[in-house]
Structure 1
């Protein structure tokens, strides 16, 4: 995709991951987008827990904290942020809050592990549930029991990290690697030292087989006795890596972050206009 000098090439796209190359952009702008994805795109997380019964060895506060860190499936089109909802109730309403219930008891003669899959959504909000059902919450001995109600709300990671939709959100410069055939003897030292497997031998010479894996450490350059390698980067081309918790699709995180940046820019221009600056 290309627009006014900006070029984007998708390397990988799935529900939880988007990797792409973007050319014609400054790292400063890309970092603004990265920070918006990390901290300003809202997702659901458990915010209030009402403990009905807890006879486990885990304190109520620790149990509530662990529940808050479980990633939840999020519907951004149905729910709004609590501050944007006019219900004014402590536990929220169907527009700003979702309810999940946990009722687990230790059975048999051994230890029972309670997983996130045991945290069931209320029938009023079946779509709000843990991303994974294999996250351990607490272990119960025979006869021990945990009963609780948990209230999830939309939030942003600017308030707490549990509301961050991403687990990996980073970029690096686009590597530019060249091999001078006139100097290369095919000794293979660059292959031995490269932990990213960027090089192979081809025709008795070092060959750059996968430049995108390069992390610009320059180990290959330092180990090349013939000075046949040059590793540089394109300062206007970046490789971006985005991986989400699974709460919302990776492409949705990216698009929402773009909307947030655009809205901030429009607000800034409007206020400058009101002040007579522009």
Structure 2
């Protein structure tokens, strides 16, 4: 198996995987979404809430606020499978004490651990009118996406099989199929009597045929079957985007580690005769 990174930043990673199989790639996708640990607010103690927002809605907004959850932040914290995970005091404490009039933002959450804080400062939580008060204590804990959406580290985790475009040289060139491409990856070159695949795409790290959506608009536009759109069965384009809580590379590496542990556990289970 070969991996080639097309682009990578703090929130997004796009890479090409070659010589792999669909079950393996899909297992990586599923594990990255539901088995990679992430930090989110779990318990909320609302002492005072004079705002118009119901307590349950406010607690839900706090839970969905992305918190820094990189490897350094996760170190030393209890996991859901640990016996002491459910203890209220066993987590990262957050405090929110405000008086209106003002809009309360995520930056107003005060953390007991300087490493673990909201990823973005400008997420609006609630609006307070004149004299309205808000006094909240909350505990953030490590969890998994299989339990709740707030613990899913990825906003996008998807793959597609590597596109492949071929031309039927036995029939007359059909220039209309190039005009039908919604992504503009086909270009008619009547001087050289060819249809070319555009290599560079604006605002996209993908090159050449990789930008093809395999919608087959070009195939439907060709009356004589000049163009064919398919895919390479063992090559994939994989995209991971996060909400900023974790770098996408860390999500991928952790997902591979978890998948490896699951495979080892299954092998031991089989070797021991199902005991």
Per the alignment, in what secondary structure is the counterpart of residue 8 of structure 1?
Answer: strand
Q: Deviations over 1:175-231 (max 9, x none)?
A: 01123466325x3x3343222221123354321112111111111110123432111
Distance 2:197 2:255 in 1: 35
Name the counterpart of 1:99. Answer: 93
Which of 23, 48, 57 does residue 52 from structure 2 map onto? 57
Question: Residues 196 and 78 from structure 1, CA distance in 2 versus in 1: closer, same or farther, beyond 3 angstroms?
Answer: farther
Separation of aligned partners in 2, 1:228 and 1:82: 57
Deviation track 1:206-257 (CA, whole Å, cap 9, x = no partner) reads 2111211111111111012343211110011111011111111111110111
Counterpart check, 1:274 vs 2:255: no
Greater CA drift, 7-16 or 197-206? 197-206
C-alpha displacement of 1:78: 3.2
Q: Who is 1:196 aligned against?
A: 183
SS in 2 for 1:151: strand
Aligned to 2:117: 129
Tell whether the 8 Å contact from 1:82 to 1:92 is kept in structure 2 after alignment. no
* CA deviation vs aligned residue, 1:126-177 (integer Å, no higher than 9, x gap): 1111111121211122222211111000000111111000000000010011
For structure 2, which runs of at least 5 residues remain unmatched after alignment?
A: 199-207
TM-score under structure 1 length normalisation: 0.87
Contact map agreement 2:179 2:186 (CA 8 A) in 1? no
Structure 1: stretches of 5+ with no match in the other structure: 1-5
Measure, in 2, the Cα distance between the counterparts of 1:237 and 1:245. 27
**Alpha-carbon distance between aligned partners in 2 of 1:196 and 1:77, rounded to the nearest angstrom:** 44
- Picking from 134, 144, 150, the partner of 1:162 is 150
CA distance in 1 between partners of 2:274 and 2:44 (Å): 49
Of 229, 232, 239, which aligns to 1:231?
229
1:67 match:
62
1:6-21 equivalences under 5 Å are: 6-21=1-16
Preserved contact between residue 39 and residue 157 of structure 1 (Cα < 8 Å) = yes
Q: How many residues align?
A: 260
SS at match of 2:74: coil
- Equivalent position SS for 2:263: helix
Cα–Cα, structure 1 residues 153 and 227, in superposed 2: closer, same or farther, change >3 Å? Answer: same
Q: Find the counterpart in structure 2 of residue 76 from structure 1.
A: 74
Q: In 1, Cα distance between the equivalents of 2:114 and 2:274?
A: 50
Deviations 1:87-140, CA, capped at 9 Å, x for gaps: x773133xxx10111122223xxxx32211111212xx1111111112121112
Match of 2:259 among 256, 261, 264: 261
Corresponding position of 1:3: none
CA contact (8 A) 2:42 2:63 kept: yes
- How far residue 82 of structure 1 moved from its aligned partner, in angstroms, is 4.2
Q: Deviations over 1:52-83 (max 9, x none)?
A: 21000001111001100111101222323143
User: What secondary structure does 2:59 align onto?
Assistant: helix
